Chain A
Amino acid sequence: MKTAKKAIIGVFSSEDSLMDALCRLLAENLEPAEIYTPYPVHEALRLLKRKSKISWAAWFFGFFGGIAVLAFLYYTAVIDWPLNYGGKPFNAFPSFITITLVLIILIVTILTLLTFSVRAKIYPFKKAEILDERVTNDKFIIVYDAEKVNRDQVVASLREAEAEEIIEKQTV
């Protein structure tokens, strides 16, 4: 998330109170900048239209990885240094499938992890931008960028949505 200069944070104690509030706020056209939860809340992800395209990326990695592996096997086993293994054809396609499958899995794993790291910005030695330390424990928060919304309207709506606390915070 691009961190807001000043954030308005509504704190909730349960998934249900978060969902009630989120429905109410979205009905008022107040789309939050971000929500933070201790575990993935699927209904909330659906409401906020958060849908990962990572499985598509993985599919492409697998497809093109597979072509690359077969091309590599063909080059090494047929063009570069053909060897006769028990009379099999140099391009022993059926017996190349097992290793192709394993290498596709290897390629997809590595590239998917890299994609996750880049897209979600999760990588070693990254300093976390923590808005409220309790979100990894037992609180659910809804965050607004104070510069992009009407502050008073958001605060009033969060209060109406029964936020336990409303915090206004200067962030990085």
Chain B
Amino acid sequence: MSYATEVRGPLVLGNKKLSQVSDDIIAPVGAQPGKWWYAAMFVASLMLVYGAYALYITFTVGIGSWNVNNSVGWGWEIVNFVWWIGIGHAGTAFSIFLLLLRQTWRTSINRAAEAMTVAAVLCAALFPLIHMGRPWLFFYIAPYPNTRGPLWVNYNSPLFWDFMAISAYLLISASFWYLGMIPDFATIRDKATTKMKKTVYSILSFGWTGSSREWMRYEGTGMVLGGIAAVLVVSVHSIVSTDFASSVIPGWHTTLFPPYFVVGAIFSGFAMVMTLMILIRKIYKFHDYVTDRHFDAIARILVFISLIMGTAYLTELFVAWYSGNEYEGFLIFKNRVTGTYAFQFWAMFICNAIIPQLFWSKKIRQNLTIAFVISLVINLGMWYERFNIIVTSLSRSYLPSTWVTYHPSYIEVGIYLGTIGLFTTAVLLFFRYIPMIAIHEVKSVLKHNEREHGMGDLKPDEQ
């Protein structure tokens, strides 16, 4: 059954043969990278070292080394947590929603999106852990028979849901990613010329042979994981939003939050995928696999989500005015739109709701330099959004005596930079050791190319 439409152009350019696909994609795996790779790794390592130092201080001194206080109890750490977990929604959005919707154009992009997801969720998971103050007791949050009663956890608490949801999300996205790589590792194994490479990829490929029985179960498992992860991807960020929405803080206590957070997460995730894919295509010259049409499709999705984001921001303003609630009105109009944090509010609004509208123009969608900049701007804007939600609400609570203006300490900045270093390191290792594009999935769409566009080396389908 073919779900392809005539509307979309060829998914892979250059009349590729099956073996060419393997060769092109495997070429960078394990090869000596360029100088840029070492330079990037050096910078990432510096950030990691700074992050490690910041964590050392956090563990030995405690979270008193941060600038969070009684009023702003959640500072950069929760901002960054929500930011990273949002970015971590791209892999699932790309792989799973598009897999379930049978969108074959995902095949060149899903691998990188999934890799990025795993790295981003790892970065995200760090923050709630260290925010506990005594991270070595983090297992207290798991419901297990204990010597404290046994006293069980509060199953009504979104913070507990969060712990379980993120653990499940990390597991499912990592296993989905790995499952997708098994046949590709087998391809590398069978084409390897050195003993070392053959041994390593033999282990990684888990004994894959490509038999019909393996493929049958492989696809079945992929669809099951995809189906349940689609539910999870919506519930993870909904749960993150209930961390806020179930409180009685103005600016947080709103029913808009779950969809607003989920859409925002997919927005930042897609933007990060665009950033990464532009780099991959440029550096590794994957122009035949990651075509202009791919970027066009991502840009169209971004412009659509940007409209939803703009609507959500305006809905917040409207509800604050229409509800007549004085605390809500004060917070939104005196402490977000104007006031100490007005810059962050407008940065969020302009980066997320205004600038991506440039993608309406075909010229801009086709200009990858501008698209690259816009994708970065979106992620900057999404960071401001989380800062805006978390810090503005806490810094001006009900009592003026509790009002403070929050700035992060150098330790908090260090932890954030450390996670960027971790993410960058993970992505650089991915560039070097893992096929960046799903080889077997691209091969399976070559036939669509041939059917719809008369390309490729396959004979016409006579079935």
> Cα distance A127–B189 when bound, in Å?
12
| Distance of A26 from chain B, by nearest CB (Å) | 13
Q: Are B164 and A102 in contact (CB under 8 A)?
A: yes
**Contacting residue for A15 out of B143, B186, B223, B447, CB 8 A:** B447
Given contacts A48-B212, A109-B225, A110-B171, are A16 and B187 in contact (CB under 8 A)? no
- Closest-by-CB residue of A relative to B231 is A105
**Residue A27 lies at the interface, judged by CB distance under 8 Å to chain B:** no
| Distance of B257 from chain A, by nearest CB (Å) | 14
Q: Are B202 and A127 in contact (CB under 8 A)?
A: yes
* Neighbouring B residues of A14 by C-beta, 8 Å: 457-459
For A105, A112, A133, the residue with the greatest tally of chain B CB atoms inside 10 Å of its CB is A105
| Distance of B226 from chain A, by nearest CB (Å) | 11
* Neighbouring A residues of B221 by C-beta, 8 Å: 52, 54, 112-113, 115-116
* Neighbouring B residues of A95 by C-beta, 8 Å: 155-156
Q: Are B155 and A92 in contact (CB under 8 A)?
A: yes
| Distance of B120 from chain A, by nearest CB (Å) | 19
**Contacting residue for B218 out of A55, A99, A116, CB 8 A:** A116
Bitwise, A97-111 to B at CB < 8 A (1) or not (0) is 011011101101110
**Residue A64 lies at the interface, judged by CB distance under 8 Å to chain B:** no
- Closest-by-CB residue of A relative to B156 is A95
> Cα distance A62–B231 when bound, in Å?
13
**Contacting residue for A138 out of B22, B164, B167, B228, CB 8 A:** B22
**Contacting residue for A137 out of B22, B202, B216, B444, CB 8 A:** B22
Interface size on A, residues (CB 8 A): 73
Secondary structure call for the B interface = helix
* Neighbouring B residues of A55 by C-beta, 8 Å: 220, 223-224
**Residue B293 lies at the interface, judged by CB distance under 8 Å to chain A:** no
Q: Are A136 and B183 in contact (CB under 8 A)?
A: yes
- Closest-by-CB residue of B relative to A124 is B206
**Residue B70 lies at the interface, judged by CB distance under 8 Å to chain A:** no
Bitwise, B181-194 to A at CB < 8 A (1) or not (0) is 01100110111000
* Neighbouring B residues of A1 by C-beta, 8 Å: 211, 213
User: Which residues of A in the span 18-44 have a Cβ within 8 Å of any Cβ on B?
Assistant: 19-20, 34-44
**Residue B33 lies at the interface, judged by CB distance under 8 Å to chain A:** no
User: Which residues of A in the span 50-93 have a Cβ within 8 Å of any Cβ on B?
Assistant: 50-55, 58, 62, 72-73, 76-77, 80-81, 83, 85, 88, 92
Given contacts A99-B155, A105-B231, A106-B164, are A125 and B211 in contact (CB under 8 A)? no
**Residue B18 lies at the interface, judged by CB distance under 8 Å to chain A:** yes
Q: Are B156 and A54 in contact (CB under 8 A)?
A: no
* Neighbouring B residues of A125 by C-beta, 8 Å: 203
* Neighbouring A residues of B229 by C-beta, 8 Å: 105, 109
- Give the segment of B144-152, B358-366, B373-381 that binds chain A: B144-152
What 16 additional pairs, Cβ within 8 angstroms, besides A38-B187, A124-B206, A137-B19?
A: A1-B213, A16-B462, A34-B213, A37-B212, A40-B215, A45-B216, A83-B152, A98-B161, A101-B235, A116-B179, A116-B217, A121-B207, A122-B182, A128-B202, A135-B210, A138-B19
Residue contacts A-B, CB under 8 angstroms, 6 given: A36-B212, A38-B443, A58-B228, A62-B228, A77-B155, A96-B156
